[in-house]
Amino acid sequence: MTNAVILAGGQGKRLMSDKPKTLTEILGKPIIDWILSAFDDADIKNICVVTGYAHEALEAHLDGRCETVFQSERLGTGHAVMTAADFLKRNQGGDTIIFNGDAPFVDAKTLRKSLEYHRKNAAAVTVITAEVDDPKGYGRIIRDKSTGALTAIREQKDCDPDEAAVKEINSGCFWFNTAALLDVLPRLTRNNSQGEYYITDAVEILINGGKTACAYTAEDSDIVLSANDRRGMLELNETARMRVIDRLLDSGVEMVCLDGVIISPDAEIAPGAKIMPGTEIYGGCKIAEGAVIGPNSRLKDTTVGRRTTMNRVVSNGAAVGSDCNIGPFVQLRPGTVIRDFAHVGDFVEIKNSVIGEGTSVSHFNYVGDSDVGKNVNFGCGSLTANYDGTSKFRTEIGDNAFIGCNTNLVAPVKVGDAAYTAAGSTITKDVPDKALGIARNRQENKENFAEKKLSRHLEKGKRFTD
In a domain, 264, yes or no: yes
Examine residue 277 and state whether it is found in any structural domain, yes or no.
yes
Predicted TM-score of the model (pTM): 0.89
| 140 and 272 together in one domain | no
- Beta-bridge mates of residue 2: 95
Does residue 437 contact residue 425 with C-beta atoms inside 8 Å? yes
Same domain assignment for residues 101 and 211: yes
Q: What is the DSSP letter of 455?
A: H
- Residue 333's Cβ-count burial label (10 Å; 0-12, 13-18, 19+) is middle
Residues 80 and 216 in one domain: yes
Whole-number Å distance between alpha carbons of 284 and 246: 18
Does residue 383 have a pLDDT over 90? yes
Same domain assignment for residues 186 and 248? no
Residue 449 CA to residue 466 CA, distance in Å, equals: 24
Q: What is the pLDDT of residue 84?
A: 96
Q: Residue 457 domain-assigned?
A: no
Is 449 a domain residue?
no
Residue-range definition of the domain harbouring residue 76:
2-224
- CATH code of 147's domain: 3.90.550.10
- Same domain assignment for residues 187 and 296: no
User: Quick check: 355 pLDDT over 80?
Assistant: yes
Q: Specify whether 219 is located in the same domain as 234.
A: no
CB of 296 closer than 8 Å to CB of 312: yes
Q: Are 268 and 288 in contact (CB under 8 A)?
A: no
Sort residue 458 into left (φ over 0), alpha (ψ -120 to 50) or beta: alpha
The answer to whether residues 35 and 48 touch, using CB atoms and an 8 Å cutoff, is no
**What three-state secondary structure class fits 98?**
strand
Q: Are residues 334 and 392 in the same domain?
A: yes
Decide if 51 is inside a domain: yes
User: Do 207 and 320 share a structural domain?
Assistant: no
With respect to residue 23, please indicate whether it lies within any of the assigned structural domains: yes
**CATH code of the domain covering residue 410:** 2.160.10.10
Check 55, 79, 363, 457 and give the catalytic one: 363
Q: Is 61 a catalytic residue?
A: no
Q: Summarize pLDDT for 286-341 with one digit per residue, the tens.
A: 999 999 999 999 999 999 999 999 999 999 999 999 999 999 999 999 999 999 99
- Give me the number of domains the chain comprises: 2
Q: pLDDT tens across 228-242, in order?
A: 889 999 999 999 999
The answer to whether residues 216 and 259 belong to one domain is no
Distances (CA, A) of 115 to 103, 308, 411: 18, 44, 59
DSSP secondary structure of 244-275: HHHHHHHHT-EES--TT-EE-TT-EE-TT-EE
* Residue 141 near residue 86, CB atoms below 8 Å: no
Residue 325 lies in a domain: yes
Contact 429, 408 (CB under 8 A): no
Last residue of a domain, one of 192, 224, 256: 224
Tens-digit pLDDT profile for residues 6-62: 999 988 788 888 889 999 999 999 999 999 999 999 999 999 999 999 999 999 999
Residue where a domain terminates, one of 224, 249, 274: 224
pLDDT score of 52:
92
Q: 311 and 281 share a domain? A: yes
Residue 465 has what pLDDT? 64
The string of DSSP codes covering 324-386 is: -EE-SSEEE-TT-EE-TT-EE-SSEEEES-EE-TT-EE-SSEEEESEEE-TT-EEPTT-EEE-
* Confidence at residue 450, expressed as pLDDT on a 0 to 100 scale: 84
- 211 and 247 assigned to the same domain: no
Residue 445 within a domain: no
* Residue that finishes a domain, picked among 201, 224, 247: 224
What pLDDT was estimated at residue 163?
A: 86
Which residues, at least 6 apart from 290, have a Cβ–Cβ distance to it below 8 Å?
Answer: 272, 273, 306, 307, 308
- Measured distance CA(202)–CA(188) in Å, rounded: 7
Domain co-membership, 214 together with 237? no
Whole-Å CA distances, 148 to 87, 141, 142, 164, 209? 34, 11, 9, 17, 18
Integer CA distances (angstroms), 265 to 27, 58, 167, 286, 293, in order: 8, 21, 29, 12, 17
Q: What is the side-by-side strand order in the sheet with 298-300?
A: 262-263, 280-282, 298-300, 313-316, 330-332, 348-351, 365-368, 383-385, 408-410, 426-427
Q: Are 285 and 265 in contact (CB under 8 A)?
A: no
Report whether 50 contacts 5 (CB < 8 A). yes
